Amino acid sequence: MYPIWSKFDLKFYIASTTDRFKGGIYLADLDMSSGELSLLKNVDNKEYISFITTDSKDEYLYAVSTSNNKIYSYFINQDDKSISLVDSKPLNGLIPCYISITTNNNLLFVANYNSSNCLVIQIKDGIMNIADSFVYEGSSQNKVRQESSHPHSIVPDKYSKFVYVADLGTDKIMIYSINSDEKSISPASPYYKKLKPGSGPRHLIFYNKYYAYVINELNSTISSLSVDNRSGNITENQIISTVPSNYSGTNWAADIHTKGQFIYASNRGHNSIAVFRIHEENGKLIYIENTDVHGEIPRSFAIDPTGKYILIANELSNNITCFIRDYTTGKLIYTGFNLSVPVPQHIKFI
């Protein structure tokens, strides 16, 4: 079922990493009645912005750059969604690839892929103070991609009680407790969960307080996890492929999101979005379909807050494609609308 909307729009930011064109952060518009996309303006031209997010009130935008390994905070003008720089900090690490924020907006977390560390940053009114750094060691089965630790995401749970680090290089999910002062974190017990060797956990999301899902880049799978919300411990219940069984080409699974009772995952190589239904009784995934993204190398994607549209950032084809989502079946249909953006990395609705 596809809902009918009167004409209104939603704005979103796009992170771009190119230095061959004018990269940085773009502001764009999604027409909710048709799915048409419009590029409004470049709101910041810093190079190689790899990831962006906002606080829970959409008052501040945070962005990381892989060209200088810094994090930036911006105040968001609520009238036209332009942004003004508030603060910047060196990250004491290499290749920042993920940012997340607790629901109370006290703590911000950054994963540094190449320096094998994650940062805890205290934030208030856009001002940032680096409070702690956790450094990881180890390796795993893939000698090229897993020669050392490579944290690829760091994610608080929905209640800002625990924090989870997906380490692509060691096949581990590290677990931390957010301390009672809500300004620091400590290793939980047990401290980590080991996944299948060579899987390469990349991004982790929560469906509710009982179930979480991690997309594994190197073997193109999703691990379904049960979560003990008292201890933070996780148990792997299922491993399911993100590509069809008859596909034999190269693929790197990338991004994962949930909406309603569905899970969506992007495939770079197969160039598709895999769609799954969540089993309400056990949290396991039921495969529905793979949908062509109409682009190349879908690094990330975003579902609009209403759940009607999915926007896909296709890194190699330099475009963002728009799909309408069936609320009942979870299936996706291409709207025919796409937006030309140089090397899009990440999308954040505002």
% of the chain residues with pLDDT over 90: 92
Rounded to a whole number of angstroms, the CA Rg of the chain reads 19
**86-108: pLDDT as tens digits:** 999 999 999 999 999 999 999 99
**pLDDT at residue number 344:** 96
**pLDDT at residue number 133:** 97
Tell me what the mean pLDDT of segment 188-192 comes to.
95
Tell me what the mean pLDDT of segment 306-325 comes to.
98
Tell me what the mean pLDDT of segment 199-210 comes to.
97
What is the CATH number that goes with domain 97-349?
A: 2.130.10.10
Q: Where does residue 142 rank: exposed (0-12), middle (13-18), buried (19+ CB within 10 A)?
A: middle
pTM beyond 0.85, yes or no: yes
CA dihedral 258, 329, 320, 114 (to 10 degrees): 30
pLDDT band for 326, please (50, 70, 90 cuts): very high
* Torsions phi, psi for 219 (to 5 deg): -115, 15
**269-290: pLDDT as tens digits:** 999 999 999 999 999 999 999 9
**pLDDT at residue number 182:** 86
% of the chain residues with pLDDT over 70: 96
Q: Provide CB contacts within 8 A for 188, sequence distance 6+.
A: 162, 175, 176, 177, 231, 232, 233
**35-91: pLDDT as tens digits:** 999 999 999 988 899 999 999 999 999 999 999 999 999 999 999 999 999 999 999
Residue 116 has pLDDT above 80, yes or no: yes
Tell me what the mean pLDDT of segment 303-314 comes to.
98
Residue 7 has pLDDT above 70, yes or no: no
Tell me the domain boundaries of the chain. Answer: 97-349
**pLDDT at residue number 4:** 54
**221-269: pLDDT as tens digits:** 999 999 999 999 999 999 999 999 999 999 999 999 999 999 999 999 9
**135-158: pLDDT as tens digits:** 999 999 999 999 999 999 999 999
Instruction: Quote the distance between the C-alpha of residue 289 and its chain's center.
Output: 21
Helix spans in the chain (H): none
**pLDDT at residue number 290:** 99
